[in-house]
Structure 1
Amino acid sequence: MSGRGDDPDVTLLRPYLMTSGRTKPVDHTLEIEAQVMTSKLGAASHPNLTFERRDIISLCRKTMSVAEVAAMLKLHIGVARVLVADLAALGYVVIRRPEAELPQDLRMIERVIRGLESLR
Protein backbone atom coordinates (compact mmCIF):
# COMPACT_ATOMS: atom_id res chain seq x y z
CA MET A 1 0.00 0.00 0.00
CA SER A 2 1.53 3.32 -1.03
CA GLY A 3 1.71 6.38 1.23
CA ARG A 4 -0.16 9.60 0.51
CA GLY A 5 2.97 11.20 -0.96
CA ASP A 6 3.10 8.46 -3.61
CA ASP A 7 -0.41 9.10 -4.94
CA PRO A 8 -0.19 11.54 -7.89
CA ASP A 9 -3.82 12.62 -7.42
CA VAL A 10 -3.14 13.64 -3.80
CA THR A 11 0.06 15.44 -4.86
CA LEU A 12 -1.82 17.48 -7.47
CA LEU A 13 -4.76 18.22 -5.20
CA ARG A 14 -2.72 19.40 -2.22
CA PRO A 15 -1.47 22.72 -3.72
CA TYR A 16 -5.01 23.44 -4.90
CA LEU A 17 -6.29 23.00 -1.35
CA MET A 18 -3.50 25.09 0.21
CA THR A 19 -4.40 28.10 -1.94
CA SER A 20 -8.18 27.53 -2.04
CA GLY A 21 -7.83 26.98 -5.77
CA ARG A 22 -6.12 30.30 -6.43
CA THR A 23 -3.13 30.45 -8.74
CA LYS A 24 -2.39 34.17 -8.41
CA PRO A 25 -1.43 35.91 -5.16
CA VAL A 26 -3.56 38.78 -3.82
CA ASP A 27 -0.48 40.93 -4.48
CA HIS A 28 0.36 39.97 -8.06
CA THR A 29 3.56 42.06 -7.89
CA LEU A 30 5.12 39.94 -5.13
CA GLU A 31 8.62 39.10 -6.32
CA ILE A 32 10.20 35.73 -5.59
CA GLU A 33 13.27 37.57 -4.26
CA ALA A 34 11.20 39.73 -1.88
CA GLN A 35 12.30 39.28 1.73
CA VAL A 36 9.72 37.94 4.19
CA MET A 37 9.83 38.40 7.95
CA THR A 38 7.33 37.37 10.62
CA SER A 39 5.56 40.31 12.27
CA LYS A 40 4.68 40.55 15.96
CA LEU A 41 1.07 39.80 15.02
CA GLY A 42 2.20 36.73 13.06
CA ALA A 43 4.30 35.46 15.97
CA ALA A 44 1.35 35.92 18.33
CA SER A 45 -1.05 34.21 15.88
CA HIS A 46 1.28 31.27 15.18
CA PRO A 47 -0.62 28.71 17.33
CA ASN A 48 -3.90 29.50 15.54
CA LEU A 49 -2.61 29.07 12.00
CA THR A 50 -2.77 25.89 9.97
CA PHE A 51 -0.13 23.77 8.26
CA GLU A 52 1.99 25.64 5.72
CA ARG A 53 0.93 29.06 7.02
CA ARG A 54 2.28 28.11 10.45
CA ASP A 55 5.45 26.75 8.83
CA ILE A 56 5.98 30.02 6.92
CA ILE A 57 5.55 32.05 10.12
CA SER A 58 8.10 29.81 11.87
CA LEU A 59 10.60 29.95 9.02
CA CYS A 60 10.38 33.70 8.58
CA ARG A 61 11.37 34.52 12.13
CA LYS A 62 14.67 34.72 10.26
CA THR A 63 14.27 36.87 7.14
CA MET A 64 14.25 34.90 3.89
CA SER A 65 13.06 35.32 0.34
CA VAL A 66 9.81 33.95 -1.06
CA ALA A 67 11.93 31.58 -3.18
CA GLU A 68 13.73 30.31 -0.06
CA VAL A 69 10.39 29.74 1.68
CA ALA A 70 9.25 27.66 -1.30
CA ALA A 71 12.47 25.66 -1.31
CA MET A 72 12.55 25.06 2.44
CA LEU A 73 8.92 23.90 2.54
CA LYS A 74 9.16 22.05 -0.80
CA LEU A 75 6.33 24.11 -2.25
CA HIS A 76 5.81 25.18 -5.83
CA ILE A 77 6.92 28.82 -6.13
CA GLY A 78 3.40 29.88 -7.18
CA VAL A 79 1.89 28.29 -4.08
CA ALA A 80 4.47 29.99 -1.87
CA ARG A 81 3.69 33.37 -3.48
CA VAL A 82 -0.05 32.93 -2.82
CA LEU A 83 0.48 31.88 0.82
CA VAL A 84 3.05 34.59 1.59
CA ALA A 85 0.89 37.28 -0.03
CA ASP A 86 -2.12 36.11 2.03
CA LEU A 87 -0.07 36.26 5.24
CA ALA A 88 1.19 39.75 4.32
CA ALA A 89 -2.38 40.96 3.63
CA LEU A 90 -3.35 39.76 7.11
CA GLY A 91 -0.34 41.49 8.68
CA TYR A 92 1.30 38.23 9.78
CA VAL A 93 4.47 38.84 7.75
CA VAL A 94 6.27 41.95 6.58
CA ILE A 95 7.53 42.06 3.00
CA ARG A 96 10.69 43.96 2.05
CA ARG A 97 10.73 44.59 -1.68
CA PRO A 98 13.91 44.70 -3.78
CA GLU A 99 15.19 48.27 -4.03
CA ALA A 100 16.78 47.99 -7.47
CA GLU A 101 14.51 48.15 -10.48
CA LEU A 102 14.41 44.62 -11.86
CA PRO A 103 13.31 43.45 -15.29
CA GLN A 104 9.60 42.63 -15.21
CA ASP A 105 9.49 39.98 -17.94
CA LEU A 106 7.43 37.48 -15.93
CA ARG A 107 7.29 34.95 -18.76
CA MET A 108 11.09 34.78 -18.83
CA ILE A 109 11.27 34.42 -15.05
CA GLU A 110 8.66 31.65 -15.12
CA ARG A 111 10.61 29.82 -17.87
CA VAL A 112 13.75 29.99 -15.74
CA ILE A 113 11.86 28.64 -12.72
CA ARG A 114 10.35 25.78 -14.75
CA GLY A 115 13.81 24.98 -16.11
CA LEU A 116 15.28 24.89 -12.62
CA GLU A 117 12.42 22.73 -11.35
CA SER A 118 12.98 20.24 -14.17
CA LEU A 119 16.55 19.73 -12.98
CA ARG A 120 15.38 17.98 -9.82
Structure 2
Amino acid sequence: MSGPVRPYVITGGRSRPSRNVLALESLVSAVPGADTTGAELNREHQRIVALCARLLSIAEIAAHLHLPLSVVKVLVGDLWDVGAVQVLPPATAVHGSPDPTQAGRLPTTLLEEVLVGLRQLR
Protein backbone atom coordinates (compact mmCIF):
# COMPACT_ATOMS: atom_id res chain seq x y z
CA MET A 1 0.00 0.00 0.00
CA SER A 2 1.41 3.37 -0.91
CA GLY A 3 0.54 5.93 1.73
CA PRO A 4 -2.70 6.93 3.45
CA VAL A 5 -4.45 8.16 0.30
CA ARG A 6 -4.92 4.78 -1.36
CA PRO A 7 -7.56 3.27 1.00
CA TYR A 8 -9.52 6.51 0.76
CA VAL A 9 -9.44 6.31 -3.04
CA ILE A 10 -10.31 2.58 -3.11
CA THR A 11 -13.47 3.10 -1.04
CA GLY A 12 -14.53 6.33 -2.69
CA GLY A 13 -13.92 8.22 0.54
CA ARG A 14 -16.14 5.99 2.67
CA SER A 15 -14.91 4.62 5.97
CA ARG A 16 -17.91 2.48 6.94
CA PRO A 17 -19.59 -0.38 5.08
CA SER A 18 -23.18 0.01 3.92
CA ARG A 19 -24.13 -2.88 6.19
CA ASN A 20 -23.15 -2.91 9.84
CA VAL A 21 -23.24 -6.71 10.18
CA LEU A 22 -19.86 -7.46 8.62
CA ALA A 23 -17.53 -8.98 11.19
CA LEU A 24 -13.97 -10.01 10.44
CA GLU A 25 -15.03 -13.66 10.66
CA SER A 26 -18.07 -13.26 8.35
CA LEU A 27 -17.79 -15.68 5.44
CA VAL A 28 -18.04 -14.39 1.88
CA SER A 29 -18.70 -16.31 -1.33
CA ALA A 30 -19.14 -15.08 -4.88
CA VAL A 31 -22.56 -15.50 -6.47
CA PRO A 32 -21.99 -17.39 -9.72
CA GLY A 33 -23.40 -15.59 -12.74
CA ALA A 34 -24.32 -12.46 -10.77
CA ASP A 35 -25.27 -9.57 -13.07
CA THR A 36 -23.08 -6.63 -12.04
CA THR A 37 -23.61 -4.58 -15.21
CA GLY A 38 -24.20 -1.00 -14.25
CA ALA A 39 -22.38 -1.46 -10.96
CA GLU A 40 -19.18 0.53 -10.66
CA LEU A 41 -16.72 -2.14 -9.59
CA ASN A 42 -13.08 -1.18 -9.23
CA ARG A 43 -10.11 -3.54 -9.48
CA GLU A 44 -10.30 -4.46 -5.79
CA HIS A 45 -14.00 -5.34 -6.09
CA GLN A 46 -13.17 -7.64 -8.99
CA ARG A 47 -10.30 -9.24 -7.08
CA ILE A 48 -12.62 -9.94 -4.12
CA VAL A 49 -15.18 -11.62 -6.38
CA ALA A 50 -12.41 -13.75 -7.92
CA LEU A 51 -11.01 -14.72 -4.49
CA CYS A 52 -14.44 -15.60 -3.17
CA ALA A 53 -15.00 -18.35 -5.72
CA ARG A 54 -14.19 -20.34 -2.58
CA LEU A 55 -15.56 -19.38 0.83
CA LEU A 56 -13.32 -16.87 2.64
CA SER A 57 -13.67 -14.71 5.73
CA ILE A 58 -13.37 -10.92 5.66
CA ALA A 59 -10.04 -11.30 7.49
CA GLU A 60 -8.71 -13.75 4.89
CA ILE A 61 -9.73 -11.45 2.04
CA ALA A 62 -7.91 -8.56 3.71
CA ALA A 63 -4.81 -10.71 4.11
CA HIS A 64 -4.85 -11.87 0.48
CA LEU A 65 -5.29 -8.33 -0.84
CA HIS A 66 -2.94 -6.68 1.70
CA LEU A 67 -5.67 -4.17 2.58
CA PRO A 68 -6.96 -2.94 5.96
CA LEU A 69 -10.03 -4.74 7.34
CA SER A 70 -12.06 -1.52 7.26
CA VAL A 71 -11.44 -1.12 3.52
CA VAL A 72 -12.37 -4.73 2.80
CA LYS A 73 -15.59 -4.37 4.81
CA VAL A 74 -16.59 -1.36 2.69
CA LEU A 75 -15.79 -3.21 -0.55
CA VAL A 76 -17.59 -6.41 0.50
CA GLY A 77 -20.60 -4.31 1.53
CA ASP A 78 -20.65 -2.79 -1.97
CA LEU A 79 -20.50 -6.23 -3.57
CA TRP A 80 -23.23 -7.54 -1.28
CA ASP A 81 -25.44 -4.59 -2.20
CA VAL A 82 -25.17 -5.37 -5.93
CA GLY A 83 -25.65 -9.12 -5.39
CA ALA A 84 -22.14 -10.14 -6.45
CA VAL A 85 -21.37 -11.89 -3.16
CA GLN A 86 -23.24 -13.66 -0.43
CA VAL A 87 -22.26 -13.12 3.22
CA LEU A 88 -22.78 -15.62 6.02
CA PRO A 89 -22.77 -14.31 9.58
CA PRO A 90 -20.19 -15.49 12.11
CA ALA A 91 -20.96 -18.78 13.84
CA THR A 92 -21.53 -17.07 17.20
CA ALA A 93 -24.31 -14.98 15.66
CA VAL A 94 -25.93 -18.14 14.30
CA HIS A 95 -25.65 -20.29 17.42
CA GLY A 96 -26.23 -17.62 20.04
CA SER A 97 -23.99 -15.75 22.41
CA PRO A 98 -21.44 -17.40 24.64
CA ASP A 99 -22.34 -18.08 28.26
CA PRO A 100 -21.89 -14.76 30.15
CA THR A 101 -20.73 -16.66 33.24
CA GLN A 102 -17.70 -17.78 31.23
CA ALA A 103 -16.73 -14.25 30.12
CA GLY A 104 -13.07 -14.08 29.21
CA ARG A 105 -12.72 -17.86 29.05
CA LEU A 106 -12.64 -19.90 25.86
CA PRO A 107 -14.24 -23.34 25.88
CA THR A 108 -11.72 -26.17 25.84
CA THR A 109 -13.21 -27.57 22.63
CA LEU A 110 -12.58 -24.30 20.82
CA LEU A 111 -8.99 -24.23 22.02
CA GLU A 112 -8.56 -27.82 20.87
CA GLU A 113 -9.96 -26.94 17.41
CA VAL A 114 -7.55 -24.01 17.13
CA LEU A 115 -4.66 -26.26 18.11
CA VAL A 116 -5.64 -28.85 15.49
CA GLY A 117 -5.88 -26.11 12.86
CA LEU A 118 -2.45 -24.75 13.76
CA ARG A 119 -0.93 -28.21 13.55
CA GLN A 120 -2.41 -28.64 10.06
CA LEU A 121 -0.59 -25.50 8.91
CA ARG A 122 2.77 -27.25 9.25
TM-score of the superposition, structure 1-length normalised? Answer: 0.69
SS of 2:28's equivalent? strand
The gaps in structure 2 that reach 5 residues or longer are 99-122
The root-mean-square deviation of aligned C-alpha atoms, in Å, is: 2.1
The gaps in structure 1 that reach 5 residues or longer are 104-120
SS of 2:76's equivalent? helix
Would you say how many aligned residue pairs link Structure 1 and Structure 2? Answer: 93
Bigger radius of gyration among the two? 2
**Aligned-partner Cα distance in 1 for 2:97–2:43:** 32
What amino acid is aligned across from residue 68 of structure 1 in structure 2? E
Asked if 2 retains the 8 angstrom alpha-carbon contact of 1:41 and 1:91, the reply is: no
Mark the CA change 1:49 to 1:19 in structure 2 (over 3 Å): closer, same or farther. closer
**Aligned-partner Cα distance in 2 for 1:23–1:101:** 29
What amino acid is aligned across from residue 3 of structure 2 in structure 1? T
**Aligned-partner Cα distance in 2 for 1:45–1:101:** 34
Percentage of identical aligned residues: 34
Mark the CA change 1:53 to 1:97 in structure 2 (over 3 Å): closer, same or farther. same
Higher helix share: 1
TM-score of the superposition, structure 2-length normalised? Answer: 0.68
Equivalent of 1:51 in 30, 36, 43: 43
What amino acid is aligned across from residue 7 of structure 2 in structure 1? P
